[in-house]
Structures are given as structure tokens and as C-alpha cells.
A and B are shown apart, each in its own frame.
Chain A
């Protein structure tokens, strides 16, 4: 009896050893060789994209075309009326671990549709956007404000807005930059991307690209 227990203990140990060796061999293949090979090829073929699609303007990096960012007045927290605004990002937080860095932690609000907190937020955002984007002679009604303008995205980093929300902002942006409304509207149209291949996803406007072009337009006068 004792002998057979010992035998099964040692055979279990042998099996575990084999399992560990299999895992280490597969780690070498899929955890070292594979990511290095993919990194090598990706960095060779499309380095800009593999490094995060950074965009430069006026000789300096102004962000990533894929990552949304705030366009606030200096001091933060209040939107700068000169620029097109992105979506709310109430789910976005800063890191609470490893706090020698200041990293953005992506995320959604995860609030339920019937949560009073979310209902209040959406109502407030609708009123705020309507106020912010109204110009004398052209008031924006809360019912004109599209859904993406008053909801937080899944990542908190949505780089896009809907073409409707971009057009809603045209008069305010034109007025603040001293530009003709038609030229700003044409700029929005030029930066409106259709669905991929005509049917995948939704039409959208990349806010960073739009604001970069707007900055160039405003500088020319």
C-alpha cells in the first residue's frame, strides 16, 4: 500500500514536471518568439501605426489620431469654444496603482440606463451643449443635440464624433475663430469619414484631425 502511494506520488510529480516543461517550451514559442516576430515585422512595415499613430502639427506632436483628448481652456475643465469638442469621458480615470506615473485608465461609466445619476448627467449635458453651441441668431435647442454629444464612450478615449455633432458646432467655432461659417462647414465635410467599405461601422469625424486643420485655417486667416 505504502509502495503504491509512493509510486503514484512520484508519477504525479513526473507528470507535473513534464507539464511545466511543456508550458515553458510553449512560452518560448508563443510568449517570446511570436510577439518579437510580430513586433519586428510591424515595426518594419508600418512603424507609425505600431507606435500609436502619433500626429504632428507645427513641428510638434499633438497627440494620437486614435485617442481622443480634451480641448479645454488653460487650467482645464472648461471647454475652449475655439475648438471642436469631443464626447464626454466620464468613465476615464487616472491610475491609482503605480502612482509615480500619471496614466490614463480607459473605461466606461457602466451606469445603467435607468440610473438617476446617468439620467441627470445626460439631461445636464444636453442643456450644456445646447447653450455652448448657440450663437446669437442661431439658438441650438436641446432636442437638436445628438446622442454621442451627451454620452460617454466605451473607452473614454473615443477620437470621433458623429457628423451631426460636428455640424452642430460649426457656427460657434466659426464665430470664435473669426472664420466664415461656410469655410468651417466645408472643413467638417472634408473631414467626415464614411463607413468603412460603405457599410461597416458608422460615419464619423476625427476631432484631432479636424481641429488641426482648423488651427491651420485660422492661422492663415
Chain B
């Protein structure tokens, strides 16, 4: 069997596995977020917090609780890193300097997991396991809560309330992420992902002597790293490191894990919105984009017509033998179309067009299928834009899921869309215009520009993957990418919750012959077109300077 055939079979197996869990997991999450019952452990947490989980919140209260929780996360993570040098269980590693500690705290709280440090030489057990892994859980649960709040905005008709933030947060962790993570962590550990609390220890070598290794709770962190679409590796090489991703099977399993929640959330959306076919339409648009990106990426990586890759006879620079070209392309597309940002290969050494595809996947806003929660709310914003465009064409007031979309809602959706491109393009331009940031580039020419563009695209879209040649551990990049991550996460959330608030409580309009049927293939097609056009119009000039220039040069 050739590598391309095997790659296609691998992708089909992945789709089959996702199809198997789509309905059960999607329905489970719908039950979790609409159940009236509280588990005992949840009650303990509510009591500790001093919050009544049955209080319904309007959007400003929901937002305030969310921001307070995230602020607490940034502060705690910053303090943990600054105190690492004196905390026990840190392998004796020194404290992290302030700019990098800020960057990492912002990164993990915003579900980005951009890393300007190398895990194995920087962070001990306390920060990794007690700090970063915790944010891997809760930042994903925050994203899911926002998505559910938006769906409630569409579904609620007699009340302007969106639900209770604390209940949504805690349930997301306790009933969705934690059980799945336990199973995933044990599967990974069974395949060879390490899970221990050994300090730095010596391992003998074949030709004599020994090497020093640090152990860690890697399997448990790895599981939630991908499941929560986080992506921050325990080790510098992330999912390319054999202790994080030891076999071809674990590679495919990780791709499955990073897709499973965003994909199943389209089912949850359909159930909660009262029509599973609405969820299928969103899923169809997602699948078309993902499959198209995968086909393009696989083609360009196998074609490898450039420079060193052509001379070598294969695009294996930065790729592991066990995953091969197909397994790496599958991972790269899936990690950049979700907000994961874990990498099993070095995107910087991909073909010019391959790197561009990874970049464009993030630039589209990570909605196909996107991050845990953030993918669904991003996609629903695009759906609002799509019905608005359709409304303009036929001269009708647009509506989605029975709710009229007025000027106010369109403004909220448009503002949502403007935040990340503004951050990406302005910060990239500043970095290129200032004298020193350019010194961080590793590669010359168009590729160097792509490194900077990729960094801000990754940060502002909360992805976290990198063209890792860029030396991002400078005061400039630590500060600007940190700000891009915070603004790129929380400003859009403000607009989503405001949109949810203005939709909730609005009476539904009855379906008539003139209603745009948003559960039909026609609408899914319109949605794909809208996403590609908005993304292309925003980013084509920047892409032309970087990956397109590199990929088309001979």
C-alpha cells in the first residue's frame, strides 16, 4: 500500500470514529448543560465558591463572572511561575522571568497555549501539572460555556437569561472533560506516554554513559491538551516528542481527541436549538472546509517541489518517521482548524504552500471545527453573517433559528469578526516596521515574514502553534503576543455574549415560504462561501507576501 492510500484510509478511519461518537457525545453534552440536577462533587464546589448554581444570569452578569474567573486564572498562573524557584516539587528549576510568565499565563488561560519557553528545561511539576494542566481543563470549559450561552440566546424565547456561568463551567469540567480525559490519558499511557513524578534522573545509553531526563505527569496533561483544544506541549517538541506521542496510533488518537468535542458540539447545538438538522448543516460546512484543507495539505507535502525537500527526496524535515508525511499533514490541518496548536511536526519546515494552509486555517478564525466551544460560537457568528448576506440579496430581514437579526446583532457579529484581523495585521506590521523585532526571525526572505505573521495569527486566534524558528522569548514578542491572546480571546467573547443577550427573550418569527432554510445544503454552501470570502478578503495581501511568495517561487 502506498503512503497516500494509507493516508486516505487513516483519514477515513478518523471520520468513522468521529461519526460513532457524534450522537452519544453530542446528546450527552446537551443533557449536561440543560439538566436540573447537581452532582455531589459539584455541590461541594458551589458551596466552596459561595455561588448558587440555579441563579439565572443575564449576559452582563455571565460575562462578569467569566472575566473574574479568567483574571483569577491569569494571576494564579503568573504567581505560580514567579514563585517556582521556592516552591517544592519544581525539580529545583528557577522562577520564570516576568515577561515570559505573563505571556505563558495569558496563553494558557486563553486556551492558546503559545509557548515561548521549552518545557523540559523551564517548568517543574507544580507549574506544569498544578497550573498549566488545570487551565487546560478550565479554559476549554469556559469556551464551551460561552458557546452554550449563545445557543441558549437563540433557543430562549421567554427569558433574557443565559444560564449560570458557575454551573456551566463546573459541569463542563466535571461531566464532560474530566471523564473523557481519564480514559484518554490511560490509553496514551498504555501506548508509552510517560506518567510519573520522577525528578531529573539518569538513563544509560547504548554506547555507554548516560543521559539526564526529567519525568512528569505527561499522559494526564497530554490527554487534556488535545481534548480541550489547548495544545501546550509538556516538552518543547510538543506532539513530535516520542514521550508525548509515541506511535502512529497515538498520533491518530490525538487528532481524534482534538476534533471530538468541537465536532460533537454541533450536535449539542442542534439538540438545544430544537432541530438536529441545524447542527448537521453547520457540521457539513465544517467537514467541507476540513476535507478541502486536508486534501490541499496532503497534496503539497507529497509533491515537495522546493529546495531542500526536493533534494532530500521527501518532505521529512521536521517530521517523524513513524507519522510520515500523511500523518503529519492530517495533524497539522486538524490542529490549525481547531484552536489546538499542538504540533507533531515542524510547520516551519513544511513546503511554502503547506505552511500557508496551516496559517490560513487559523486565519479563518478556527471554526472548522474550531476550539472547544470557541469553534461553535465562531461558526454561529459566521452563520449570522451568512443569513445577513442572503437577506441583502433577496431584500428580506435576515433571521436565524427563528430569531430576527437586526442592525444591533449584525454590528455585534461584525465587531467580533474585526477583532482578530485587526490584532494580527497591526501587530505584524509593527513588528516589521520596528528595528529590533525582526532580529527574532530565523529564516531569510518571505519565510521570515511568515514566521512573524504566523505568530500573531496563532496568538490572536488562540491557536498556539508556531513557525518555531522565530525567537519569541523577547520582551517585545512576550508582551505583544500576550496582549494579542487576551484581546483575541475576551473581546470576541464580549460580543458573543452581548449578541446572545440581545437574542434571548426575543419572540421567534414563524417559518414562512420566504424563510431561508438554514438546515438545507444550500445554506451550508452559502456558509462555506461566506467563511472563505471573508477570510480571503482579509488575509490575501498578507498571505501573498509570505507563504504564497515562498510557495510559488522557483
- Contact indicator B192/A66 (Cβ below 8 Å): yes
- A-chain residues with CB within 8 Å of residue B212 when the two chains form the complex: 101-104
- B-chain residues with CB within 8 Å of residue A197 when the two chains form the complex: 249
Residues 155-179 of A, flagged 1 when their CB comes within 8 A of B and 0 if not, give 1111111100000000000000000
- Contact indicator B130/A31 (Cβ below 8 Å): yes
- A-chain residues with CB within 8 Å of residue B553 when the two chains form the complex: 114
Q: Is A38 positioned at the interface, with any CB of B under 8 Å from its CB?
A: yes
- Contact indicator A29/B314 (Cβ below 8 Å): no
Q: Is A49 positioned at the interface, with any CB of B under 8 Å from its CB?
A: yes
Residue of B nearest to A150 (CB): B312
Q: Is B20 positioned at the interface, with any CB of A under 8 Å from its CB?
A: no
- A-chain residues with CB within 8 Å of residue B306 when the two chains form the complex: 113-114
| Min distance, Cβ B291 to any Cβ of chain A, angstroms | 18
Contacts A30-B137, A63-B204; A18 near B308 (Cβ below 8 A): no
- Contact indicator A20/B72 (Cβ below 8 Å): yes
| Min distance, Cβ A87 to any Cβ of chain B, angstroms | 7
- Contact indicator B76/A23 (Cβ below 8 Å): yes
Contacts A122-B308, A160-B321; A18 near B49 (Cβ below 8 A): yes
| Min distance, Cβ B13 to any Cβ of chain A, angstroms | 7
Choose one: B68, B173, B198, B469; the contact of A111 (CB below 8 Å). B469
Q: Is B467 positioned at the interface, with any CB of A under 8 Å from its CB?
A: yes
Segment at the interface with B among A51-59, A133-141, A180-188 = A51-59
- B-chain residues with CB within 8 Å of residue A18 when the two chains form the complex: 49-51, 65, 68, 166
- B-chain residues with CB within 8 Å of residue A10 when the two chains form the complex: none
Q: Is A15 positioned at the interface, with any CB of B under 8 Å from its CB?
A: yes
**For chain A residues 67-93, which have a beta carbon within 8 Å of chain B?**
67-72, 74, 80, 83, 87, 91
A195 to B322, CA, bound (A): 8
Q: Is B10 positioned at the interface, with any CB of A under 8 Å from its CB?
A: yes
Choose one: B13, B120, B346; the contact of A91 (CB below 8 Å). B346
Q: Is B191 positioned at the interface, with any CB of A under 8 Å from its CB?
A: yes
A120 to B48, CA, bound (A): 62
**For chain A residues 170-218, which have a beta carbon within 8 Å of chain B?**
195-202, 204, 208, 211-212
- A-chain residues with CB within 8 Å of residue B169 when the two chains form the complex: 22
A141 to B423, CA, bound (A): 51
Residue of A nearest to B169 (CB): A22
- Contact indicator B203/A52 (Cβ below 8 Å): yes
Q: Is B393 positioned at the interface, with any CB of A under 8 Å from its CB?
A: no
- Contact indicator A157/B346 (Cβ below 8 Å): no
Q: Is B436 positioned at the interface, with any CB of A under 8 Å from its CB?
A: no
- Contact indicator B249/A154 (Cβ below 8 Å): no
- Contact indicator B44/A25 (Cβ below 8 Å): yes
- Contact indicator B318/A152 (Cβ below 8 Å): yes
Residue of A nearest to B350 (CB): A113
Residues 91-105 of A, flagged 1 when their CB comes within 8 A of B and 0 if not, give 100011110111111
- B-chain residues with CB within 8 Å of residue A126 when the two chains form the complex: 311-312
Among the interface residues A43, A52, A143, which one has the most CB atoms of the partner chain B within 10 A? A52
- A-chain residues with CB within 8 Å of residue B221 when the two chains form the complex: 35
- B-chain residues with CB within 8 Å of residue A49 when the two chains form the complex: 189-194
Segment at the interface with A among B441-449, B455-463, B496-504 = B441-449
Question: 8 closest Cβ contacts across the A-B interface?
Answer: A201-B248, A154-B240, A147-B314, A202-B324, A108-B346, A110-B469, A106-B237, A95-B121
Residue positions of A touching B, CB distance < 8 A: 12, 15-16, 18-27, 29-32, 34-35, 37-39, 41-43, 45-46, 49-54, 57, 60-64, 66-72, 74, 80, 83, 87, 91, 95-98, 100-115, 118-119, 121-123, 126, 143, 145-148, 150-162, 195-202, 204, 208, 211-212
A-B contact pairs, 7 of them (CB 8 A): A26-B138, A107-B468, A118-B317, A118-B349, A148-B316, A154-B237, A202-B321
Q: A34-B133, A154-B318, A201-B327 are in contact. List 20 more A-B contacts (CB 8 A).
A: A22-B69, A24-B48, A38-B217, A69-B206, A80-B207, A98-B94, A102-B212, A108-B348, A113-B350, A123-B311, A146-B313, A155-B235, A157-B241, A195-B1, A199-B1, A199-B6, A199-B13, A200-B251, A201-B6, A202-B6
